[in-house]
C-alpha cells in the first residue's frame, strides 16, 4: 500500500510536470485543441485494447503518437487550420471509442478497465508506467534545454521565426509528438475526460504569475506536478477517482495563483508614490 502511494506521488510529479510544460507551450502556440484529438486517440487505442484483449498502454501510446504525427502534415496537406483538423480527428476517435467499447467481449462497460480509461485510477500506476514517464521526462527536458533559443523564437512569433530560417514545421511536429506522449501517459492517471485539467489549468495558473517565457514553462511544470501529486494523494486517501481529484487540486492552485496575482498588483499600486 505504502509503495503504491509513493509510486503515485512520483508519477504525479513526473506526469503533472510534463503536462504542465507541454500545456504552456501548446497554449502559447495556439495548439490548445490538439489535446482533444490526441487524448481521444489514446482513448480509442485503449478501447481497442479492451476489445482485442491487448496491452492498453501500448495501444494508447501508438494511437496518440500516430495522431500527433499526422496532425501537422494533415493540416498542411488539406490546407485547413490545425485546430479544425484536430476537432475532425477528435470526433472520429470518439466514434471509434464507442464502437470498440461496445464491441468488447462481456460486460465490459461495467469493468474497472473502462473506469480507468474514462476517469483514471491510482491502480493504473505500475513500475513500467513510471519508467515510461521518466524516459519521456528526460527527452522533453533535453529537447527544451538544448533547443531553447529556437523554441523561444517560435514561441514569440512563428512567422518571424520562419522568416529567419527556423524550420518551424519540424519544431511544431516535435512539440505535437511530445504533447502526444505526455497526454497519453497522463491519461492513465486522469482518464480521457480530465486530462485537459493537467494540460491547461497549470498553464493558466502560471500566466497569473506574470513571468518571462522560461519561467512560465517552469512554473507550469511545477504547478502541474503539485496538482497531480496533491490530487493523487487525495484520491488515495478518500478513495475518489484520480482524475477528479487532480482537477480539483489544479483548480485550487489556479485560484491561489489568481488571488496572489491580484494581491501583488494591489500592493504595487498602494506602494507607488502619490
Partner 1 sequence: MEEGPNRYAVELESVSTYYYGEKRPAIQNINLKIDVGSLALIIGPNGAGKTTLLETVLGLLRPREGRIKVLGYRIPKEVLKARALCAYLPQDFMKPPMEPFTAREVVAMGLASNSFMGMLSDDDWRKVDRSLELLGMLEYANKPFGKLSGGQQQKILLARALVREPKLLLLDEPFSAIDQKTRSYIVSEVFPDLLRKGCTILLVSHDSESLLINPSVIIRMRDGFVEQVIIRNVHVAH
Q: Which of residues 120-159 bind partner 1 (CB under 8 A)?
A: 146-153, 156-157, 159
Cβ proximity of 115 and 121 under 8 Å: yes
Whole-number Å distance between alpha carbons of 212 and 30: 18
The nearest distance, CB 198 to partner 1, in angstroms, is 21
The nearest distance, CB 9 to partner 1, in angstroms, is 30
272 near partner 1, rule: CB under 8 A: no
Centroid of chain to Cα 271:
39
210 near partner 1, rule: CB under 8 A: yes
Cβ proximity of 100 and 113 under 8 Å: no
274 near partner 1, rule: CB under 8 A: no
Of 167, 260, 266, 267, the one binding partner 1 by CB under 8 A: 167
160 near partner 1, rule: CB under 8 A: yes
Of 53, 106, 127, 165, the one binding partner 1 by CB under 8 A: 165
265 near partner 1, rule: CB under 8 A: no
Of 22, 59, 75, 161, the one binding partner 1 by CB under 8 A: 161
Long-range CB contacts (within 8 A, 24+) of 231-236: 231/12, 232/8, 232/9, 232/11, 232/12, 232/122, 232/189, 233/5, 233/8, 233/9, 233/12, 235/8, 235/122, 236/4, 236/5, 236/8, 236/122
The nearest distance, CB 216 to partner 1, in angstroms, is 6
Amino acid at each position: 500500500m505504502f509503495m503504491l502511494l509513493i509510486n503515485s506521488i512520483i508519477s504525479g510529479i513526473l506526469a503533472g510536470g510534463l503536462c504542465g510544460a507541454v500545456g504552456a507551450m501548446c497554449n502559447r502556440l495556439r495548439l490548445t485543441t490538439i489535446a482533444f484529438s490526441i487524448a481521444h486517440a489514446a482513448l480509442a487505442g485503449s478501447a481497442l485494447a479492451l476489445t482485442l484483449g491487448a496491452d492498453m498502454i501500448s495501444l494508447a501510446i501508438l494511437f496518440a503518437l500516430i495522431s500527433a504525427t499526422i496532425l501537422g502534415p494533415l493540416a498542411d496537406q488539406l490546407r485547413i487550420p490545425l485546430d479544425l483538423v484536430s476537432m475532425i480527428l477528435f470526433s472520429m476517435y470518439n466514434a471509434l471509442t464507442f464502437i470498440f467499447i461496445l464491441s468488447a467481449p462481456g460486460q465490459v462497460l461495467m469493468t474497472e478497465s473502462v473506469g480507468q480509461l474514462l476517469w483514471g485510477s491510482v491502480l493504473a500506476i505500475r513500475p513500467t508506467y513510471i519508467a515510461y514517464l521518466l524516459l519521456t521526462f528526460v527527452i522533453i527536458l533535453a529537447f527544451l534545454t538544448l533547443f531553447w533559443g529556437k523554441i523561444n523564437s517560435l514561441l514569440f512569433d512563428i512567422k518571424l521565426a520562419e522568416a529567419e530560417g527556423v524550420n518551424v514545421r519540424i519544431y511544431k511536429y516535435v512539440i505535437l509528438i511530445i504533447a502526444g506522449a505526455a497526454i497519453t501517459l497522463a491519461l492513465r492517471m486522469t482518464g480521457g475526460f480530465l486530462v485537459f485539467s493537467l494540460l491547461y489549468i497549470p498553464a493558466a495558473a502560471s500566466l497569473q504569475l506574470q513571468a518571462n517565457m522560461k519561467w512560465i514553462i517552469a512554473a507550469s511544470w511545477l504547478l502541474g506536478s503539485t496538482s497531480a501529486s496533491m490530487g493523487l494523494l487525495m484520491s488515495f486517501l478518500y478513495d475518489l477517482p484520480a482524475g477528479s481529484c487532480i482537477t480539483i487540486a489544479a483548480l485550487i492552485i489556479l485560484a491561489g495563483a489568481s488571488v496572489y496575482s491580484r494581491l501583488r498588483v494591489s500592493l504595487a499600486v498602494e506602494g507607488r508614490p502619490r
